């Protein structure tokens, strides 16, 4: 099995954090999560809608979210609605802190201010 690519790891971390962030605001079903991600920014234009369902299953298995079956939509279909757990809120806080530190560091490296490079 090939090792994951750095871009794949980055996308996974981004989608995980997006899902946790959305669910921290309110419970949502998978299609609503997909629509929110696709509508957030054109950066997600290449995001495949089917990607969210394995992410939801994994985050649920990790205890970060909880899904419950309900009825929704115009036709009264069964839908699985997800909500973030207290463990998921802690995980989101940790990931957000890491993300913010890395974004600041990257901004120093590639931003308009120059960083002293040794050597």
Whole-number Å distance between alpha carbons of 83 and 59:
11
Which residue ranges form the domains of the chain, and what is each CATH number? 6-106 (1.10.10.10)
Each residue's pLDDT tens digit, 3-18: 555 555 666 778 899 9
Phi-psi region of 4 (alpha: psi -120 to 50; beta: other; left: phi over 0): beta
* pTM exceeding 0.85: no
Helix (H, G, I), strand (E, B) or coil at 12: helix
pLDDT in tens, 39-69: 877 766 667 778 899 999 999 999 999 999 9
Q: Which two tokens stand for residue 98?
A: 């890491």
Cβ count near 30 (within 10 Å): 20
């Amino acid at each position: 099995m090939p090792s994951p690519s750095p871009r794949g790891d980055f996308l996974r971390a981004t989608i995980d954090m997006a899902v946790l962030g959305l669910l921290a605001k309110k419970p949502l079903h998978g299609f609503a999560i997909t629509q929110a991600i696709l509508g957030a920014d054109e950066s997600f234009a290449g995001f495949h809608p089917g990607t969210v369902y394995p992410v939801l299953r994994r985050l649920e298995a990790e205890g970060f979210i909880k899904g419950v079956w309900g009825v929704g939509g115009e036709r009264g279909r069964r839908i699985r609605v997800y909500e973030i757990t207290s463990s998921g809120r802690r995980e989101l806080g940790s990931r957000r802190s890491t993300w913010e530190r890395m974004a600041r560091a990257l901004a120093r490296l590639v931003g308009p201010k120059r960083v002293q490079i040794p050597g």
